[in-house]
C-alpha cells in the first residue's frame, strides 16, 4: 500500500530506498536547486514539487515491480492479479506459490522490503496461505479425460 503524501516527502528528500525507482529528472532538478541561492531556487522548488506529485504513482509501481521480482525469485510460480478498483493505494496484488521449506525465507524478503520502504510510505501486506487456485488452468473446451 502507498501513502502518497509520505512517498512524495521521501522523493523530495531523496530517500535512498527509492533508488530502485530513480527518476533522473527529479534528481537533476534536486542537484540544480542545491547549487542555487534560495531566491533563485524558489521557482525550481515549485517545479520539483509538481514533478514529484506527477511521478509518485509511477515510482510506487516501479518499487512494487522490484519487490514482485524479488519475491518471484523465491517462489515456484508467481502471478500478479488485477488491482482492486476500490483501493487506489494498492500497487501490487501478487500471488506466490512457495515451497513450505522456503516460506520463512520468503516472509523475510517481504518483511525486508516493508522495512526498506516504510519511511517512503510504501508497505506490503502478507495474507495466506491460500489454496493454489491462482496457478491452475482449466480449458473448458478440451474433452474430459477419464482416469
pTM strictly above 0.85: no
- Cβ(37)–Cβ(11) under 8 Å? no
Number of CB atoms found within 10 A of residue 117's CB: 26
Quick one: pLDDT at residue 88?
A: 84
Give tens-digit pLDDT for 48-69.
888 888 888 888 898 999 999 9
User: Distance between CA 56 and CA 5 in Å, rounded?
Assistant: 9
Whole-number CA gyration radius for the chain = 20
CA 77 – CA 131 distance, rounded (Å): 14
Q: Which pLDDT band, with edges at 50, 70 and 90, does 72 fall under?
A: very high
pLDDT, tens digit (0-9, with 9 covering 90-100), for 121-140: 899 999 888 888 888 877 78
Q: What average pLDDT does this structure show over 1-9?
A: 87
For residues 115 and 137, is the Cβ–Cβ distance under 8 A?
Answer: no
Quickly state the pLDDT bin for 146 (edges 50, 70, 90): low
Overall size of the chain counted in residues:
147
Measured distance CA(57)–CA(120) in Å, rounded = 12
Amino acid at each position: 500500500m502507498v501513502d502518497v503524501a509520505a512517498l512524495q516527502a521521501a522523493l523530495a528528500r531523496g530517500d535512498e530506498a527509492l533508488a530502485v525507482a530513480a527518476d533522473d529528472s527529479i534528481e537533476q532538478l534536486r542537484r540544480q536547486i542545491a547549487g542555487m541561492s534560495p531566491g533563485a531556487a524558489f521557482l525550481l522548488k515549485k517545479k520539483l514539487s509538481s514533478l514529484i506529485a506527477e511521478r509518485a504513482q509511477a515510482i510506487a509501481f516501479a518499487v512494487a515491480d522490484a519487490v514482485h521480482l524479488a519475491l518471484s525469485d523465491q517462489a515456484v510460480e508467481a502471478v500478479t492479479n488485477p488491482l482492486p478498483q476500490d483501493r487506489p493505494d494498492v500497487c501490487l496484488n501478487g500471488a506466490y506459490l512457495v515451497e513450505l521449506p522456503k516460506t520463512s525465507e520468503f516472509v523475510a524478503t517481504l518483511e525486508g522490503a516493508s522495512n526498506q520502504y516504510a519511511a517512503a510510505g510504501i508497505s506490503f501486506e502478507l495474507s495466506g496461505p491460500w489454496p493454489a487456485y491462482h496457478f491452475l488452468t482449466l480449458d473448458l473446451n478440451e474433452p474430459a479425460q477419464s482416469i
